[in-house]
Amino acid sequence: MHFCTYPYPYPFLTLMPLPRRDFLKLSALASLGALAGCASQPATARIRPITRGPKFHWRGYYDKFLFSADDRFVLANETSFEGRSPTKEDSIRVGMVDTQDGDRWIDLGGSNAWNWQQGCMLQWVPGSDRDVAWNDREDGRFVTRILDVKSGRTRTLPHPFYTFSPDGKTAFAPDFARLDVTRPGYGYATGVERDPWKLIKTPDDIGIWRMDVATGQQRLLFSLADAAKLPFTGPATAAFKPDAVHWFNHLLCNTDGTRLFFLHRWRNPGDKAAFRTRALTIDVNGGKVHVMDPNGGTSHFVWRDPQHIFAFAWHPSHGERFYLFKDLSDEVTVIGKDAMPANGHNTYLPNTNSEWVLNDTYPQGKDRLQNPYLYHIPTNRRVPVGSFPAPPAYTGEWRCDTHPSASRSGRQLCFDSAHAGGRQVYVADIAGLLG
């Protein structure tokens, strides 16, 4: 039997109203895309919205644990507005949706430290079936909240986090205030003017921080000054100059907790590019710094295992594609050369021996279709999950990427979409697509 469900429209959008003609067009496109999938695929994903208006909802980042250990609860953020940058006064609610009880919203707390692309880093703490973590602001400082959802007890750590080690005992973070200036949409507002040229270019007291989750103690692991001292070995046109502004973004610990991957980014005066990039790895204790990709195009990534990183990047062998990099070496293998030619938010589906990839696209074509999909590496097979038109107002800092994230079992995924009149969270049952 073929099942095909698609999200139905919600006629609300507080700050960015859609003309009725455009709204109906977007709704029809989403419906037709789902119905076309029913006609052309042997099985289709069952998709439904799990959040509803009048407020808007989205999740943490795509590489976080957003489903609970039993796949029942999905974490999400809630806000009453869209279409502008958050200020330091703006707060959101954080909660979880009970997908087995009518998609009931369960409020968990609030955050005053957030952005449109990654929320407040809301996620289940690795290694725990009860602890949920997010960033917040207290007395003018960014902090971590960790809530035991079963007992209701909350503890606060004196520093924020970006990513955890696999056992949940260690956290790592960049400077979120600096990120708000250098890469709007990924840092937290402080009220400081977003002028990167007013920042210290390569400070020795700002960089990647390591925090003990049990005690809250923190130490600087690797500074921006350290990064600027590493010889640049990429294309000469992308090299950082002495007066470049540097920052770190996108941190992720490997699967055995021994190495950390991150992006070193910079902007040169007069450069037309918003930023340049190289990908680095480092021991979680600060040793063995390795320039994994010097070529300037590394974007989204995930660790496959303790030694391999699966990332979208530019490489002289095939240009912009997804590649599998071996850490501490120069080994690079292209993945899905023709099936996955465009950048997206890539992860591996759990419990598939890293054979199945979960990915998506940015808006494509005149209808700005965003396309979550699966890719089977052994057979080079791409399987669409759906197509969702992104309204034109959702661009830049407050765009709504789908950011698909798999459940712990790998049989479901959740994603964000604004196609029905405002960003909301959706769940897709993909079990039937994995045959």
Looking up tokens 């997804």, which residue turns up? 322
Q: What local confidence, expressed as pLDDT, does residue 226 receive?
A: 98
Q: What local confidence, expressed as pLDDT, does residue 362 receive?
A: 98
Q: What local confidence, expressed as pLDDT, does residue 42 receive?
A: 52
Asked if residues 297 and 314 have their Cβ atoms less than 8 Å apart, the reply is: yes
Which tokens belong to 12? 């609300």
CA separation for the pair 145, 161 (Å, rounded): 10
DSSP string, 18-41: PPHHHHHHHHHHHHHHHHHHHHH-
Asked if residues 357 and 339 have their Cβ atoms less than 8 Å apart, the reply is: no
**For residue 283, which amino acid is it?**
D
Which tokens belong to 169? 């005992």
Q: What local confidence, expressed as pLDDT, does residue 13 receive?
A: 27
Length of the chain: 435
Q: What local confidence, expressed as pLDDT, does residue 65 receive?
A: 98
Q: What local confidence, expressed as pLDDT, does residue 239 receive?
A: 96
158 class by beta-carbon count within 10 Å (0-12 exposed, 13-18 middle, 19+ buried):
middle
Q: What local confidence, expressed as pLDDT, does residue 44 receive?
A: 84
DSSP state of 257: S
Name the helix (H) or strand (E) containing 182.
helix 176-182
37-58 burial, b at 16+ Cβ within 10 Å, e below that, comes to beeebebbbbbebbbebebbbb
Residue stretches of the chain with pLDDT short of 50: 1-41
Which tokens belong to 175? 């400077």
Q: What local confidence, expressed as pLDDT, does residue 281 receive?
A: 98
CA separation for the pair 212, 12 (Å, rounded): 43
CA separation for the pair 250, 61 (Å, rounded): 10
Reduced DSSP (H G I as helix, E B as strand, rest coil) percent helix, strand, coil of the chain, to 5: 10, 35, 55
Asked if residues 244 and 235 have their Cβ atoms less than 8 Å apart, the reply is: no
CA separation for the pair 97, 288 (Å, rounded): 42
Asked if residues 212 and 221 have their Cβ atoms less than 8 Å apart, the reply is: no
Phi, psi dihedrals of residue 103, rounded to the nearest 5°: 55, 45
Asked if residues 7 and 49 have their Cβ atoms less than 8 Å apart, the reply is: yes
